[in-house]
Chain A
Amino acid sequence: MTTNVTYLADQEAAERDEETMLQLVWRQFRKHKMAVLGMTVLLLLIVGVVVGPIVTPYDIERSSLRERYQPPSLVHPFGTDDLGRDMLTRILAGGRISLNIGFMSMVVALAIGVTVGSVAGFYGGKVDNILMRFTDIMLTLPRLFLLIIMVLLLRGINWPYLQESGGIVAIILVLGVLSWMSIARLVRGAFLSLRQMEFVEAARSLGLSNRRIIVRHILPNAVTPVIVAATLGMARAIISESGLSFLGFGVQPPTPTWGNMLSNAQQEMLRGHMWMAIFPGLMIFITVIAINYIGDGLRDALDPRHVG
């Protein structure tokens, strides 16, 4: 029995040597059943929101007074809304925007967070102190309050690109600008320990510029925790977008998102049109669980302690 186990372990180790990093991560990731399920659900959702609005027989924005408030049926699986628009069509079109906002705002947050974190961690001292105090302050204030204040601020800026399609770009910027703090802290932590390592010393003695050392030598080693944080951050951004839109400070109708489809949901629900409140929220819930499980699986797969 014992020899058998040893043998298997050796074989695994031998095979592992020939695997690329990506294959290794994927093999670990596959072991996390919920993460694989989450990945499947997310892929289906992406296909749905891309293909759905194209193949649907209904229009996203055209209203039809005769078809208002239809409960779910075979013709309208998720019912119709207060203007007689097919809810399923709008949920798929809205999902495209919600997922986009989640992804793009994470890109913005990554750009700021990685920059602030690597500069603070690499240079240390006064720079680090100032940047991290600023990060602390941003974390002290309730995020929702800052989000809303930033939305008010951007509403005053008359840059058309910012406000078109219900202000999608404005929301992406606001969410990105207020979500970089945890990433900055992670990157800074990684940099603080990595900058003492010998390979950095070696790069320095070769006369490489600070910028090159940061970008090409240290950053690739700090990427693992950032991937996980970015995944979980995307889930959080989707929830934040829906919350902002629910309160009326997000993407403005008629452009649909899962959040602003819920902005009248409370009144509609109280009038008995419950499907209008159930489905958009359910979509957010399913998407966020799926992404969170993917993040969980990635953490397990990327953490070197779990390998083997």
Chain B
Amino acid sequence: MTRYIIRRLLQLIPIMFLISMIVFVLLQLAPGDPAAALEDNPNLTAEDRARFEERLGLNDPLHIKYLKWLGNTLQGNWGISVATKRPVLDEIGSRLPNTLRLMITAQVITLLIAIPIGIVSAVKQYSLFDHVSTTFAFMGQSIPVFWFGLMLIMIFSMTLKTADGGPLLPGGGMYDLRLYDEATAPFADRLRHMILPVAMLAMLGVGTYTRYTRGSMLEVLRQDYLRTARAKGQKERRVVLIHALKNAAIPIITILALDLPSVFGGAVFTETIFSWPGMGRLFIDAANRSDYDLLMGIVLMNAMLILIFNLIADVLYAVLDPRVRFD
């Protein structure tokens, strides 16, 4: 297995290389460059500008630019954000934990809702519960997630009030800025601020995972070994929850990995709507300011996380399903 993991890790290198090349070329072709930002400065002469361009290597041919960038990136120098003048890696580092906290909580909630509903739907196929949950799952897959977020704010932060007239749930931020700062915000306050963004992000996947669990369970429930389990006198509850679910749940790991890019995408909307200082909002800010080093860094970091997570999912899949061989 160690050999398998090492081989897969080595396979990631050319893929990362290709991804970085594609995104680098796309961003190089995009308009606006650091020198253009200096244009507003009246004291700047043409020679100054030329010197500036020379120093940044803006006139190099594309492949030289890429190789320079690659060399820097491999040494941990991911460039400087034009907007904040801070190193790209620092910017990402300060935002990534916020995004991960949001995403991981949302994914856990998604599974906690979707798997039980999917199981009951499958066990009671074509029942009223099945019809209702399938319809809701379908609606969940069709709702524009950012609009769902807006509606959450409208209902829970604007319409519904607490006893003292404040909003029932906060509609933005990670903690109450009027009362606390990053260090002093208590856990309960942070938790309250997470409810709506997590609900929004969880909505993105609930429909998909419910339908998937239902389908996967339906397939397993037909298998002979479950009849054997029942014939041995196992309780129905145990047959479904232990024998069937154990096998039905394995493919969900793959879906979790394949779904990760769309969750990162969903986080962009969630963080924008709920003023959540994460990587998604950082990306939007960077795109609005033509902050290309930062854009590049965020895409690269995302690609790395997604590829590593895919690898973990593959390994886990093989561990859980002995029919899959490491070769």
Contact = CB atoms under 8 A, between A and B. Distances in A.
B138 interface: yes
A141 interface: yes
A142 B261 contact: yes
Contact of B27 (A149, A242, A277, A296): A149
B23 interface: yes
A199 interface: no
Interface stretch (B48-56, B238-246, B262-270): B262-270
B302 interface: yes
Given A148-B283, A149-B27, A156-B31, A140 B15 contact: yes
A262 to B, nearest CB: 7
B290 interface: yes
Contacts of B138: 289, 292-293, 296
B158 A270 contact: yes
A75 to B, nearest CB: 24
B306 interface: yes
Tier of interface size on chain A: 35 or more
A296 B207 CA distance: 15
Of B22, B23, B142, B299, most buried by chain A (CB within 10 Å of CB) is: B142
B298 interface: yes
A209 B261 CA distance: 40
B273 interface: yes
Interface in A259-282: 262, 265-266, 269-270, 274, 277-278, 281
B19 A143 contact: no
DSSP class of A's interface residues: helix, strand, loop or mixed?
A: helix
B284 A143 contact: no
B26 A148 contact: no
Contacts of B143: 285, 288
A161 interface: no
Nearest to A153: B30
Contacts of B30: 149, 152-153, 155-156
A269 B150 contact: yes
A21 interface: no
A137 B22 contact: yes
B153 interface: yes
B31 A262 contact: no
A265 B144 CA distance: 14
B261 A141 contact: yes
A159 interface: no
A155 B150 CA distance: 28
A284 interface: yes
B19 A141 contact: yes
Of A141, A281, A288, most buried by chain B (CB within 10 Å of CB) is: A141
Interface string B248-290: 0000000000000110110011001100000000011001101
A285 to B, nearest CB: 5
Contact of A140 (B151, B273, B287, B307): B307
B30 to A, nearest CB: 4
Interface stretch (A24-32, A41-49, A244-252): A244-252
A247 B141 contact: no
A292 B207 CA distance: 13
A149 B31 CA distance: 11
